[in-house]
Structure 1
Amino acid sequence: MRLTSYLIFNGEAEEAANFYAGVLGGKIENLYRYDSMPSSPEMIIPEECAQMILHCCIIFPGGSMSVADTLPYDKRNFGDRGHMLTLDCDSIAHAGEVYAKLTEGAQKIQCELGEAFFAKRYAEVVDRFGVLWAIMFDEN
């Protein structure tokens, strides 16, 4: 069994995918846009949404995540901290690198990167897209 995350955006999925691929040292695979869907009377795609992301996967060392855009009539948000993606980093330096990238344009730094009673390094960042990340390194 393997758990992966799937984040839904309101027209920002491509920007988010590129950002997360850079932060995580990954690459984007299986990118599909709405205009690649077979046409059907049940699913009318507005012309302005044709190039939005229907699905894409970001593969990075240690995992993967998927992102997509929702159509304008189905707006989504990440709520009020009711979710968190956790990155278990390989070293103190790695935690610092990821923290620096995720804080670029961040909406909020909930917890500055530093030592915690449960980890050598820990931080919480609400990134530019409203996604809450925990960044962690512990030698255990």
Structure 2
Amino acid sequence: MAALNPYLNFDGNCEEAFNFYKSVFGGDFTNLTRFSDVPKEYQASPTDGQLVMHVSLPISDGSVLMGSDRPAYMGAITKGDSCYLSITTTSEEETQKLFNGLSAGGKVLMPLDKTFWGAYFGMFSDKYGVLWMVNYDYNQHS
């Protein structure tokens, strides 16, 4: 079966953001490649050398959060509100841990609470502008 893995682009602070995500999810990066690590003929600019070309952080069985910095030659990043990263958890405790950890320094859009549709759910924008939903479905765990 295919796996869907979110890929985030940053404007020079990818490593900082992924260290933050790592502090919340735990685990280790399976890949952290900088633009300076690629062969010279593929390097666009010497000033981009310390930017992250690719990083991978496994966050559960089969789910990997990936990202990179976007060098200036690729154009500016436009952040929008048309996409959320949705996390389905296995307990209220895990839901609280991830919601509280990832929303720290960000903006809560919908506080974590029990909902009329049978879930423990909340939404927020993290301190890097990434939109998240965290959901624990009571109906699937009774």
**Alignment TM-score, normalising by the size of structure 1:** 0.90
RMSD: 1.4
Per-residue deviation, 1:96: 0.8
Supply the AA of the counterpart residue of 2:65: M
User: CA shift at 1:26, angstroms?
Assistant: 2.7
CA distance in 1 between counterparts of 2:8 and 2:30 reads 15
Partners in 1 of 2:34 and 2:118 — Cα distance? 40
Identity of aligned residues (%): 26
Query: 2: distance between equivalents of 1:55 and 1:24?
Result: 18
Aligned to 2:83: 83
- Corresponding residue SS for 1:137: strand
> For residue 49 of structure 1, what is the aligned residue in structure 2?
48
Counterpart-to-counterpart distance in 1, 2:9 and 2:109: 22
Extract unaligned runs of 5+ from structure 1: none
When residues 8 and 95 of structure 1 are mapped into structure 2, their CA distance, relative to the original with a 3 A threshold, is same
The code of the aligned residue for 1:56 comes to V
1:14 and 2:15 are equivalent in the alignment: yes
Aligned residues: 136
Name structure 2 gaps, 5 residues minimum. none
Distance in 2, matches of 1:132 and 1:113, equals 14
* Structure 2 Cα separation of the partners of residues 130 and 122 of structure 1: 19
Against the structure 1 CA distance between its residues 44 and 57, is the aligned structure 2 distance closer, same or farther, given a 3 Å change threshold?
closer
* Alpha-carbon separation, structure 2, partners of 1:105 and 1:60: 21
Residue 69 of structure 2 corresponds to residue 69 of structure 1: yes
Q: CA deviation at 1:44?
A: 4.7
* Separation in structure 1 between the aligned mates of residue 93 and residue 127 of structure 2, nearest angstrom: 22
- List structure 1 runs of 4+ shifted beyond 6 angstroms: none
SS in 1 for 2:87: strand
Who is 2:130 aligned against?
A: 131
Corresponding position of 2:112 = 113
Distance in 2, matches of 1:119 and 1:37, equals 48
Deviations 1:15-52 (A, max 9, x none): 11111122222321211100011122xx5533332111
Q: Which structure shows the higher helix fraction?
A: 2
Q: 1:57, CA displacement in angstroms?
A: 0.4
The offset of 1:61, in angstroms, is 2.1
1:60 is aligned to 59
Q: Give the SS at the match of 1:8.
A: strand
- Contact kept? 2:22, 2:57, Cα under 8 Å: yes
**Distance in 1 (alpha carbons) for counterparts of 2:86 and 2:125:** 12
